[in-house]
């Protein structure tokens, strides 16, 4: 019988190879491969093809009861929004983010609120001393009695969960958790088996559990990819200018793609209840090339500023610089402007920017880009009460976008009374082409 061969796994991204490689072809990490023991295959023998092993019990779907998973509020509305309504009893959440971005700060604030409202909280400190956590707690004004431990052995953490049955368990971080007999902490087998053991303990005790995960240089959670499949929810905390964005990429108990906006202050991460106002706070009024656009980031409608600038180029080939938007879509919009509106752009450098530092690949921003570039070229500002959204096709037509009603409601809530949008919204005629959009914004197109 052929001998089972060992495989090698990248401890950064989980890529598998039949032999060790100096550099991972998936995440480009150097010297990251570790040997993983082969799985023991079933042996044929007497009693059937599977050695006499019989199948388990079957349950008909119609006999399975219906049960709503109980939730516990984290005490932070923006976090509850991302999680789909709060922390689920027995649910496991993995939160990733760059070092120093605020993961531990946010979770210590959550621990304080949960401990005051719902019950005891267990905090497993794998990376910091208890004194460091106390200093942060004093800075954040944490006054609840949180139970701390430096013991990162997965078996012991599971035993503490079974003994005390806390309402919330925070493990900071999963890369420091060890499983007996599985090698060095942070290895592929350690992270995978530690996640599995803590997930099983969370399900058995009904403890809402949050695991902090390191990220690699490409922004993904470090460790085997199977770790993200084990947990119930995966969220990422990212930095955008002065703000922190919390985004869910997987959620078994709610809508994936939800977005929460925070601002880092001296007293911790503070929720931004009105992101549209925050991102438009520094928008210049009455300046050519500035357009307010209604967009959807994940499942959240927001108002952002699309900026454009056009200037004569000193180079043989004009430059196109795009920040925060899809450069290929911007090139399409510029081609439509030249072909359908006879707007001369050949001798102009064109710069397009999504103000605020966000990166939003939303086709619904096409019309805002078209009007911003047109405004910058002709030198005429849009009225201050206009908001725009719509996709632009190659024929110059304006197409409908997803969540159009929510975009419009967000714009009206922010005080924008004139909407330049595709047809069919609230029974309004809308604009069918870029030419109609220009006419809707300016009653008379100025001469170029």
User: What interhelical angle do 366-378 and 434-441 show, nearest 10?
Assistant: 60
In terms of Cβ atoms closer than 10 Å to its own Cβ (0-12, 13-18, 19+), residue 30 is exposed
- The 8-class DSSP code of residue 363 comes to G
Which residues are CB-neighbours of 303 under 8 A, at least 6 positions away?
Answer: 276, 279, 280, 292, 293, 294, 295, 387, 410, 411, 414, 416
70-112 pLDDT per residue, tens = 888 999 999 999 998 899 999 999 999 888 899 999 999 999 9
Look at residue 29 in the predicted model and tell me its pLDDT. Answer: 77
Q: Is the pLDDT of residue 278 over 70?
A: yes
Strand partners, 340: none
Burial 336-372 (b: 16+ CB within 10 A, else e): bbeebbebebeebbbbbbbbbebebebbbbbbbbbbb
Contacts (Cβ under 8 Å, ≥6 apart) of 166? 119, 120, 121, 122, 147, 207
| Residue closest to 289 by CA, chosen among 357, 363, 378 | 378
Of 62-66, 159-163, 333-337, 382-386, which gets the smallest average pLDDT? Answer: 62-66
Q: Is 186 annotated as a binding residue?
A: no
Phi/psi for 34 (5° steps) reads -125, 145
Phi then psi for residue 6, to 5 deg, are -75, 150
Residue ranges in 234-380 assigned as alpha helix (H): 275-279, 327-340, 366-378
374-417 pLDDT per residue, tens: 999 999 999 989 999 999 999 999 999 999 999 999 999 999 99
Asked if omega into 173 is within 30° of 0 (cis), the reply is yes
Phi, psi of 154 (to 5 degrees): -60, -40
Q: Is 103 annotated as a binding residue?
A: yes
Q: Is 19 assigned a ligand-binding role in the annotation?
A: no
Beta bridge partners of 45: 48
**104 appears as a binding residue in the annotation:** yes
Specify the pairing of strand 300-312 against strand 290-297: antiparallel
17-46 confidence digits (pLDDT tens): 888 888 888 777 788 787 776 654 544 545
SS3 at position 174? helix
Phi, psi (5° rounding) for residue 92?
-115, 125
- 203 annotated as ligand-binding: no
Say whether 102 counts as a known binding-site residue.
yes
Q: For the chain, how many helices (H) and strands (E)?
A: 11, 22
Query: What pTM, to 2 d.p., does this model score?
Result: 0.81
Consult the annotation and say whether 76 binds a ligand: no
Reading the block at residue 367, the tokens are 């019309």
Give the relative orientation of helices 130-140 and 103-117 as an angle to the nearest 10 degrees: 70
- 268 marked as part of a ligand binding site: no
């Amino acid at each position: 019988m052929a001998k089972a061969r060992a495989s090698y796994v990248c401890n950064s991204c989980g890529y598998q190879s039949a032999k060790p490689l100096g550099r991972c072809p998936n995440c480009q990490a150097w010297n990251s491969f570790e040997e993983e023991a082969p799985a023991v295959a079933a042996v044929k023998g007497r009693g059937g093809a599977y050695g006499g092993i019989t199948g388990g019990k079957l349950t008909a779907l119609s006999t399975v009861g219906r049960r709503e998973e109980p939730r516990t509020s984290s005490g932070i509305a923006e976090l509850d929004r991302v999680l789909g309504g709060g922390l689920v009893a027995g649910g496991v959440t993995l939160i990733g983010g760059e070092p120093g971005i605020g993961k531990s700060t946010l979770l210590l604030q959550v621990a304080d609120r949960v401990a005051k409202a719902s019950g005891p909280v267990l905090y497993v400190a794998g990376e910091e001393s208890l004194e460091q956590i106390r200093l942060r707690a004093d800075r954040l004004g944490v006054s609840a009695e949180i139970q701390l431990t430096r013991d990162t052995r997965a078996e012991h953490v599971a035993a503490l969960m079974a003994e005390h049955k806390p309402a919330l368990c925070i493990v900071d971080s999963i890369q420091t958790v060890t499983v007996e007999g599985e090698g060095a902490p942070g290895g592929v087998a350690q992270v995978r088996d530690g996640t599995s053991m803590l997930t099983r303990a969370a399900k058995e005790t009904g403890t809402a559990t949050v695991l902090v995960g390191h990220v690699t240089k490409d922004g993904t959670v470090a460790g085997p990819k199977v770790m993200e499949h084990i947990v119930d929810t995966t969220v990422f905390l990212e930095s955008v200018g002065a703000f922190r964005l919390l985004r869910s990429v997987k959620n078994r108990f709610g809508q994936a793609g939800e977005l929460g906006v925070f601002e880092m202050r001296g007293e911790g991460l503070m929720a931004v209840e009105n992101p549209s106002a925050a991102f438009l706070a520094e928008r210049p009024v009455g300046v050519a090339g500035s357009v307010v656009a209604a967009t959807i980031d994940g499942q959240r409608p927001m108002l952002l500023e699309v900026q454009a600038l056009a200037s004569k180029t000193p180079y043989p080939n004009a430059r196109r610089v795009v920040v925060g938007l899809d450069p290929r879509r911007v090139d399409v919009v510029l081609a439509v402007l030249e072909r359908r509106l006879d707007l001369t752009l050949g001798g102009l450098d064109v710069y397009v920017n999504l103000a605020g530092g966000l990166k939003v690949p939303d086709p619904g921003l096409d019309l805002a880009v078209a009007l911003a570039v047109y405004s910058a070229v002709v030198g005429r500002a849009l009225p201050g009460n206009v908001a725009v959204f719509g996709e632009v096709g190659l024929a110059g037509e304006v197409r409908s976008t997803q969540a159009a009603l929510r975009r419009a409601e967000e714009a009206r809530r922010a005080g924008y009374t004139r909407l330049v949008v595709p047809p069919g919204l609230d029974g309004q005629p809308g604009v069918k082409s870029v030419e109609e959009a220009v006419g809707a914004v300016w009653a008379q197109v100025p001469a170029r």
